[in-house]
Chains A and B, each alone.
Chain A
Amino acid sequence: MSNGNGQQQAPCPLCHGTRVNPYNTNSVCPVCEGTGNAYDPGREYTYEMGPLILNGLVGGAATPNAQNAVSLQINRAPFRWMFLLKQSTFPFTIQIKDGTDSHNPFSNQQVHSDNIAGNGTHPMPLLTPFVFGKTTYIEADFTDLGGAQGTAGVTNGSPTVTLNAGGPFNTSPFTGAPYSNTPMWNGNTITIAGVNYVISAVTSQNQLTLAMNYAGATAAAAAFYVPNNIRVAFKGVELSS
C-alpha cells in the first residue's frame, strides 16, 4: 500500500492489509485499527508554541492579559501529538483547538496549565494521541493567571512600591495544598518605568517590596508590568503518511 508521498508502506502484520480482524470478520483489525498498514512509530519531533509574553512590555508596547488564536502550522508531515509540556513564569489557562475550519476545541473551557501540561522530567502523556494532518494548525487561547500590569507609586531610594491603578499585586501562592504563605511573585521580575527589578516580597495586594531601592525618579503613577513568559511544547512523532 502506498502513502500520500508515493512510498510503499508495509501491510499490517495481523490482517495483511485486509483491514479486518482475521479472527472475527465483523470487526476491524485491532492492530492497524482498520488502516491496513503496519503501525507507524514515527520520528520524534516537537512543535513549540511561544514564547508568549502576557502582561509584559514588548517593544515598548504593553501586552494583554490574554491572547487568543495563537497558532502554529504542522508544516512537515502528519504529526501524532503524544505529550504536552510547558514552561512558564506563572500559571495560565489554555484551550487548545485543532485549527481546522471548525476550530474544534479539545476541552469545554480553558484548562489550568498544571492540570494539562507537564515538563521534561514529568511529562503528561496522552494515552489517546491526536494526529494533526500536514498543513493543518494547532491553535490555542491563553489567559494569564499570575502576572499583572498597572501603575504604582515609587520613591527614589525606597524599595516600597504602592499600587496606584490596575494590578492588583498577586498575593497568591502556587497551586496545591498545603498552601505556603509565599506569594508566587516573590523573587520574580517587575518592570517599573521600563527598568527591571526583582520583587523581594509582596506584602499585600496594594504594596510590595523590591530587592533593592528604586533607582528611578519618584513618581505617583509609574507604569509597572509583572510578565508571564509562556512556552508550550507539543511533543510527539511525525508520521510518514
Chain B
Amino acid sequence: MDTNFLIRSKAGVPSPWVRAQRNPKVRVSPFLYAQEQLYNGLFLPEVRDLPSKALRLVFHTFDFGFTDPTRILGPYNEDYFNIPMGKNTLFWAITGLSIPAPPSTTPTPATGNVGAQISPALQFNFLQGHGDVVSQWSNKPITDIEGLGTAQDPMFFRSPVLVPTGDTITADVQNMGNVNLKAQIVLHGGEFI
C-alpha cells in the first residue's frame, strides 16, 4: 500500500462500482487494517473499494420490542418487520441482539430447567421483495449465533449487498425461547446519494 493508500484490488478484477478499468488500482481505507491485522483479508468485503463520497451512512433497524413494546416476541412466536428502500442501498455489515423482556414467563430460563431454551435466542431470515418477486437471503432461517454480530464484533458481509430503490427488506424473526423476547437487528450500510 503506497502513501496514497492505493493497492491493487484483492480479487484483481475491475471495480463493479465503476465501469471496467484496465488498472484495478483502488483505494482502501487504512483504518480497517488495524482491526485484524494480517487476518483482515478474511473479514473485509471481497470488493473493498466501497466509495465514501457517493454513499451516505445508514443503519436500517428491525426492532421487535425495544421501541414499540407491543412488538415484543412471545415465547416461540414469529414476527415480521418491513423496511422499504427509498434509495439504492449498499449493506456491508449486520449486527443484532436480544434480551428477555421482563417480566419473564416461567420457568426461568436457566440450564436444566424444564422447557428452558437459552441459546440460540432467535432465528431469522431476510426476505427481499422486488416487484412481484420475493427472494430469501438464506434457504432457511438461521440462528443469531450463526448470522449476527455485535457492534464490538460485527459480522461483515464478504460481498456488500446492493438493494435497489423500491425493494422491501423484511426481517422474519422467530423467538426460540420460552420467554418474552426483545430483539433488534441492524443492517449497516450506505445509501447512494
Contact = CB atoms under 8 A, between A and B. Distances in A.
Interface of A: 13-14, 21, 23-24, 26-28, 30-31, 33-35, 38-39, 41, 80-84, 93, 106-119, 121-131, 145, 168, 170-179, 181, 205
B97 A114 contact: yes
A124 B58 contact: no
Given A127-B45, A128-B92, A172-B102, A33 B53 contact: yes
A109 B52 contact: no
A24 B21 contact: yes
Nearest to B48: A127
Interface string B59-90: 11101001100000000000000010000001
19 contacts: A13-B6, A23-B22, A24-B18, A27-B19, A30-B49, A39-B5, A109-B63, A114-B150, A115-B59, A115-B95, A115-B186, A122-B151, A128-B51, A130-B57, A171-B102, A175-B99, A176-B121, A177-B119, A179-B99
5 tightest A-B contacts by CB? A128-B190, A122-B152, A177-B121, A178-B118, A107-B59
B57 A41 contact: no
Contacts of B100: 172-173, 179
A113 B63 CA distance: 13
Nearest to B157: A127
Contacts, number: 181
Nearest to A114: B97
B7 to A, nearest CB: 11
Chain A CB within 10 A, most for which of B5, B27, B83, B184: B184
Contact of A31 (B27, B54, B150, B184): B27
A88 to B, nearest CB: 12
B108 to A, nearest CB: 6
Given A30-B15, A173-B100, 6 more contacts: A24-B20, A111-B61, A114-B151, A115-B150, A128-B51, A171-B103
B37 interface: no
| Residue of A26, A35, A83, A118 most packed against chain B (CB within 10 A) | A118
B153 A23 contact: no
A181 B154 CA distance: 26
Nearest to B150: A114
Contacts of A125: 31-32, 35, 154
Interface in B7-42: 15, 17-23, 25-27, 29-32, 35
Given A24-B18, A108-B61, A119 B152 contact: yes
Interface centre among B57, B95, B104, B144 (most CB of A within 10 A): B57
Given A145-B66, A178-B118, A106 B152 contact: no
B95 A116 contact: yes
Contact of A117 (B50, B109, B144, B151): B151
Given A41-B30, A115-B150, A127 B99 contact: no
